[in-house]
Amino acid sequence: MTSKPSLSVLTLSCAILLLVSACGGDSKQAQSSGASSKTYNWKLVTSWAPKFPVIGEGMELFAQWVDSASNGRLRIKVYGANELVPGLEVFNAVSAGTAEMGHSAAYYWSGKVPASPLFASFPFGLNAQQFNAWYYGGGGKELWEEAYAPQGVIPFLCGNTGVQMGGWFNKEIKSVNDLKGLKMRIPGWGGKVITKAGGSAVTLAAPEIYTSLERGVIDATEWIGPYHDYKLGLHKVAKYYYYPGWHEPGTAFELLVNKKAFESLPKDLQEIVQTAAARTNIWILSQFEAQNNTYLQKLINEEKVQLREFPKEVLMELKKLAKEVAEEETAKDPQAKKTYESIMAFKKNILEWNKKSEDAMRPYLD
């Protein structure tokens, strides 16, 4: 609404609004629908470098969409990692209310919320389409909210990388034996799987990956997919590019909102936040799919990268070890166990359906 309401209408609407909430802020934007005219200025902290391709860009768009849908009543300033808080402090900052919102990936909080990797990605877990189905239609949303409730944080699904790549190696992986002694940058449960397979897992932040591989500090690394891996220049320091990314079959991102702050918003702004999160969810995944496609061709045709598929025998062994890791990790915490069981039960059913739908069509889609 842009037209200026008459004084009497405004006074009346303020009087009504005063009964339910403060009628402060810019009265020019008072809504005839009765929505509060109060303007909110919020901070959104992220775990990504400022304007990080796709993910950071997606959150800038999220802020713009919320701004325009709310007629400027909810203004969100997006901060890159370390601009307000370090990237791995995002959850704490939202929980404490230092920032009203955050954007990150849930597996970073496994020390605080043991179930959290299940809400991002875990080895041989769900792909993006399956995760969306579990979240919106299979009880995932409710379990995620339950897991974060004790921290005063409300999560909303907000993006997905799609299937990642298996990573960059300087030797070929022909059998499980080739993983023995391999020093690989691979975080989370994927790292635990590599360790079980006889390798050693290293956690490195993005800026350290290139030089560590170049200097031989690590033998191999995973990062994301063709688009981001190309931008990091990993094809210049490794010979073979392996697929698929068994350890991250579709990493989901989360919009975190401080519960008290969210509840202080009028209903229409709460709806706008949820709607913009869903729009960003599909925007981020779509960008990943579109850019990865383009950059894979670039890597193959221009950079002459040697693409390799992990042998089936290697993937089956990693899958067996991944099941052990998931069961060990989720046995430690009732919420994690409950969430894991929900995902596995959902997956069993959806895989049956996928066989008759997605998989059955796949050979004919070329």
Point out which residues bind Ca ion (CB under 5 A).
164, 248
Question: How buried is residue 292: exposed, middle or buried, by Cβ count under 10 Å (0-12/13-18/19+)?
Answer: buried
Helices 312-331 & 334-356, crossing angle to 10 degrees?
Answer: 150
3-state secondary structure 110-127: CCCCCCHHHHCCCCCCCC
Toward Ca ion, which CB reaches closer, 154 or 182?
A: 182
* Smallest gap from residue 245 Cβ to Ca ion (A): 7
DSSP of 54-104: THHHHHHHHHHHHHHHTTTSEEEEEE-TTTSS-GGGHHHHHHHTSSSEEEE
Dihedral angle of Cα 56, 215, 89, 106, to the nearest 10 degrees: 70
Distance CA 272, CA 262 (A): 11
* Smallest gap from residue 188 Cβ to Ca ion (A): 9
Q: Using the structure block, give the residue that is written with the tokens 């009880």.
A: 139
Toward Ca ion, which CB reaches closer, 213 or 350?
A: 213
* Smallest gap from residue 234 Cβ to Ca ion (A): 12
Length of the chain: 366
* Smallest gap from residue 228 Cβ to Ca ion (A): 9
Toward Ca ion, which CB reaches closer, 74 or 182?
A: 182
Distance CA 156, CA 325 (A): 26
Toward Ca ion, which CB reaches closer, 107 or 283?
A: 107
* Smallest gap from residue 250 Cβ to Ca ion (A): 11
Residue 326 neighbours by CB under 8 Å, 6+ apart: 122, 123, 189, 340
* Smallest gap from residue 74 Cβ to Ca ion (A): 32
* Smallest gap from residue 126 Cβ to Ca ion (A): 15
* Smallest gap from residue 181 Cβ to Ca ion (A): 22
In 3D space, the residue among 58, 53, 46, 62 whose CA is nearest the CA of residue 223 turns out to be 53
Toward Ca ion, which CB reaches closer, 17 or 213?
A: 213
Toward Ca ion, which CB reaches closer, 107 or 148?
A: 107
Residue 221 neighbours by CB under 8 Å, 6+ apart: 167, 168, 184, 185, 186, 204, 209, 212, 213, 234, 238
